C-alpha cells in the first residue's frame, strides 16, 4: 500500500472505546484512558506512553490484572516497580493491586476501591497532571476515568 494511502486511512481510523483515549480535562489535567483491558505487557506499554506525555506530574492509576494464575503476585509487584520508574505517583486499586503498591514503594498509594480512588483524585488532581487509568475490564476502572471526565 502506498504511504499516502496508508496515512489517509489511518487519519480516519477510530480506536475501540477505552483504548489509549487521550482527553484534556476541565481541571487542566490530561487523562489517558486505557481501561479496555490489561495484562503485564499492555500495562508496561501504557506506562511507557504515560512517560512520554508532557506534564507536571504523571499519575498511574492501576487496578488488577486478572487471569495471571500463580504468577499474579509477582506480575503485579513487577508492574509496580516498572510504574515507579515511569510515573511520579502510583494509585493501586483493589486487593490484588496491593502488590502493585508494594512494588512501587514510596511512590504508591493503595486504595480499596474505585470510589476511594476517585475521591483522592478529585481532592489532589491539579492543572498539568497527566493521569493514566489502566486495569482488566472486570476491575471497572472505566468508572474512574468517567468520573474524571
H-helix or E-strand spanning residue 2: none
For the whole model, what pTM was predicted? 0.87
Question: Going by C-beta distance under 8 Å and a sequence separation of 6 or more, which residues neighbour residue 136?
Answer: 37, 38, 39, 63, 64, 65, 66, 67
Question: Going by C-beta distance under 8 Å and a sequence separation of 6 or more, which residues neighbour residue 42?
Answer: 34, 134
Report pLDDT digits (tens) over 98-116. 999 999 999 999 999 999 9
Q: What is the mean pLDDT of each run of 10 residues along the chain (149 residues)?
A: 71 58 84 91 96 96 92 96 98 96 98 97 95 91 92
Q: Rounded to whole angstroms, how far apart are CA atoms 130 and 139? A: 21
Q: What is the pLDDT of residue 18?
A: 47
Question: Going by C-beta distance under 8 Å and a sequence separation of 6 or more, which residues neighbour residue 83?
Answer: 47, 60, 62, 90, 100, 103, 104, 107
Q: What is the pLDDT of residue 11?
A: 65
Amino acid at each position: 500500500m502506498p504511504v499516502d494511502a496508508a496515512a489517509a486511512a489511518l487519519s480516519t481510523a477510530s480506536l475501540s472505546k477505552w483504548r489509549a483515549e487521550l482527553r484534556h480535562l476541565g481541571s487542566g489535567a490530561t487523562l489517558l484512558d486505557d481501561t479496555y483491558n490489561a495484562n503485564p505487557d499492555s500495562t508496561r506499554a501504557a506506562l511507557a506512553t504515560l512517560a512520554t506525555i508532557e506534564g507536571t506530574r504523571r499519575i498511574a492509576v492501576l487496578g488488577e490484572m486478572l487471569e495471571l494464575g500463580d504468577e499474579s503476585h509477582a506480575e503485579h509487584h513487577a508492574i509496580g516497580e516498572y510504574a515507579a520508574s515511569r510515573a511520579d505517583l502510583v494509585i493501586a486499586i483493589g486487593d490484588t493491586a496491593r502488590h502493585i503498591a508494594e512494588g512501587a514503594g514510596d511512590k504508591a498509594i493503595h486504595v480499596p476501591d474505585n470510589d476511594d480512588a476517585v475521591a483522592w483524585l478529585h481532592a489532589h488532581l491539579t492543572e498539568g497532571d497527566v493521569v493514566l487509568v489502566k486495569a482488566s475490564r472486570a476491575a471497572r476502572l472505566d468508572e474512574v476515568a468517567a468520573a474524571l471526565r
